[in-house]
């Protein structure tokens, strides 16, 4: 009840009017991030988590400009660019601190507050579709991005900085007010570009929501499926979190779902027949060898689908699962390794043979050898890191600092593990 009253207090104080739109070129509680397929742009969800403004927003980083700056800075010459409001960090001299504005495209769009996961779907050579999970409404907000004009669009009006209209905010199946509604706390999100559907988990239930994501038409919610998680035997709570795809066969994909409340990993088979989307539970297993594991926040498969890496918060552990098929053609799903990691890990990505883990409490990114299953190095960010994304072509790692309005950039070829570029100044220095 305390948290409900606190939320109502925040909502009652939410700002209104044109003068309280968030600045469309300055980060504000950046959360989810995603790269375009060609890795030229980094899309950033800004969550407006303290409701200072009337909305959150999605912005776009021009990575060509980022590359130009960080490559010069990472060289032996340590070049500080002129006319871009950059300076050497006093806290970490190896880091260049820059105002984000020169790097952010002017085309931003406004969305609901408390946005989380952000995913990209390719529609054609010139158009991308973004899916933003917005927890406050709740909704799945979708936005088009033109790689030709560099414009985001999510409304039929002609505003320069629009709020995404109702047609772009999926609350229910179809337009029927009595139709299937998107339930609360959407969290993990996955969009399948082979058979064009999306799926989201919900932190406070065992439900999953499925929708169509056609290339030539608007996306829509198709159905809500129940019972894809079990209660925690002690707390009696239930909820799902992360999603990862292990394999794809013809018109069918095999997904793994982690639980926010217990140690269960659920396997799900999703297939399409015309406009029908079929979802079937195909088994589950319990994380072993790490005590009473619970609250898994990240799932990541190796490229060949033979190993699953599970990022667990309680206890903070990185667990390796052998998902290769046995003689009967069924995934083994056996724990083959586990190492202790930082407290409250939030995100997991891979690059070559290494895994990178975002450590929210420690203000660090941990580098781990995925083959040997051992800790390699710590990349200190000094402040909380939430979401990570990696560019394999550029050999760059990007991370969001939710608490301090910062995007971090790590040059993975720089020779030593450090943050090369920090875009955005600390909020407590800027207000």
Residue boundaries of the structural domains of the chain = 36-171+378-431, 177-340
**Paired residues of 316 in beta bridges:** 313
Q: Would the pTM of this model clear 0.85, i.e. be above it? A: yes
Pairing mode of beta strands 354-359, 364-369: antiparallel
Look at residue 16 in the predicted model and tell me its pLDDT.
52
Q: Which pairing describes strands 96-98 and 421-423: parallel, antiparallel, or unpaired?
A: parallel
State the architecture of 177-340 in CATH terms.
7 Propeller (2.130)
Whole-number mean pLDDT of the chain? 88
CB 63 within 8 A of CB 50: no
Checking 196-201 for CB contacts under 8 A at 24+ apart, the result is: 196/121, 196/272, 197/222, 197/270, 197/272, 197/277, 198/119, 198/131, 198/140, 199/243, 199/255, 199/270, 200/117, 200/133, 200/140, 201/239, 201/240, 201/241, 201/242, 201/243, 201/257
pLDDT given at position 431? 28
Three-class DSSP category at 219: coil
Q: Which residue has the tokens 């895994």?
A: 355
48: buried, middle or exposed (CB in 10 Å: 19+, 13-18, 0-12)?
buried
pLDDT of residue 289: 66
Residue-level pLDDT at 259: 87
Cα–Cα dist 427/84, whole Å: 19
Q: Is 379 within 8 Å of 419 (Cβ atoms)?
A: yes
For the chain, the first-to-last Cα distance in angstroms comes to 31
pLDDT per residue, tens digit, the chain (431 aa), is 333 434 433 444 445 555 689 999 999 999 999 999 999 999 999 999 999 999 999 999 999 999 999 989 988 888 999 888 999 998 888 899 999 999 999 999 999 999 999 999 999 999 999 999 999 999 999 999 999 999 999 998 778 899 999 999 998 765 555 567 788 889 999 999 999 999 999 988 888 999 999 999 999 999 888 877 765 555 556 788 999 999 988 889 999 999 888 888 999 999 988 889 999 988 889 887 666 667 888 999 999 999 999 999 888 999 999 999 999 999 999 999 999 999 899 999 999 999 999 998 888 999 999 999 999 999 988 888 999 999 999 999 999 998 889 999 999 987 777 889 999 876 544 32
pLDDT number for residue 2 = 35
pLDDT attached to residue 10: 44
Nearest to 353 by CA among 375, 338, 371: 371
Q: What is the pLDDT of residue 197?
A: 95
Q: 260: closest CA among 300, 294, 291, 225?
A: 294
- List the beta bridge partners of residue 248: 253
């Amino acid at each position: 009840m305390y948290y409900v009253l606190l939320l109502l207090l925040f909502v009652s104080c939410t700002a209104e009017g044109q003068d309280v739109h968030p600045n469309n070129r300055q980060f504000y509680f950046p959360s989810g991030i995603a790269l375009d397929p060609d890795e030229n742009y980094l899309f950033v969800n800004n969550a407006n988590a303290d409701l200072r403004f009337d909305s959150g927003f999605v912005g776009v980083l021009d990575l060509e400009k980022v590359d130009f700056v960080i490559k010069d800075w990472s060289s032996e010459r340590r070049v500080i660019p002129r006319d871009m409001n950059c300076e050497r960090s006093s806290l970490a001299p190896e880091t260049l601190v820059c105002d984000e504005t020169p790097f952010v495209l002017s085309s931003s769009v406004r969305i609901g507050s408390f946005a989380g996961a952000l995913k990209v779907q390719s529609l054609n050579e010139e158009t991308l579709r973004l899916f933003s999970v917005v927890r406050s409404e709740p909704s799945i907000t979708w936005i088009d991005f033109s790689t030709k004009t560099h414009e985001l669009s999510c409304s039929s009006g002609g505003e320069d900085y629009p709020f995404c209209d109702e047609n772009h905010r999926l609350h229910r199946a179809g337009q029927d007010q009595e139709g299937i509604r998107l339930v609360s706390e959407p969290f993990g999100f996955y969009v399948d570009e082979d058979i064009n559907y999306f799926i989201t988990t919900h932190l406070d239930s065992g439900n999953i929501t499925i929708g169509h994501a056609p290339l030539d038409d608007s996306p829509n919610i198709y159905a809500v499926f129940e019972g894809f998680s079990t209660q925690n035997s002690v707390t009696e709570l239930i909820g799902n979190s992360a999603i990862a795809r292990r394999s794809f066969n013809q018109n069918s994909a095999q997904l793994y779902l982690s639980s926010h409340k217990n140690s269960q990993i659920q396997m799900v088979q999703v297939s399409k027949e015309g406009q029908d989307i079929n979802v079937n539970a195909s088994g589950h297993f319990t994380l072993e060898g790490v005590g009473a594991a619970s609250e898994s926040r990240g799932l990541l498969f190796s490229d060949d689908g033979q190993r699953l890496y599970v990022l667990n918060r309680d206890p903070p552990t990185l667990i390796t699962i052998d998902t290769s098929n046995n003689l009967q053609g069924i995934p083994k799903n056996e724990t083959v390794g586990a190492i202790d990691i930082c407290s409250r890990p939030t995100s997991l990505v891979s690059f070559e043979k290494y895994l990178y883990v975002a450590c929210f409490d420690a203000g660090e990114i941990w580098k781990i050898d995925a083959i040997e299953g051992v800790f390699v190095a710590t990349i200190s960010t000094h402040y909380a890191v939430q979401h990570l994304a990696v560019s394999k072509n550029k050999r760059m790692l990007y991370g969001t600092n939710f608490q301090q309005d910062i995007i971090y950039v790590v040059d993975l070829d720089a020779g030593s593990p450090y943050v090369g570029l920090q875009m955005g100044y600390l909020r407590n220095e800027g207000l």
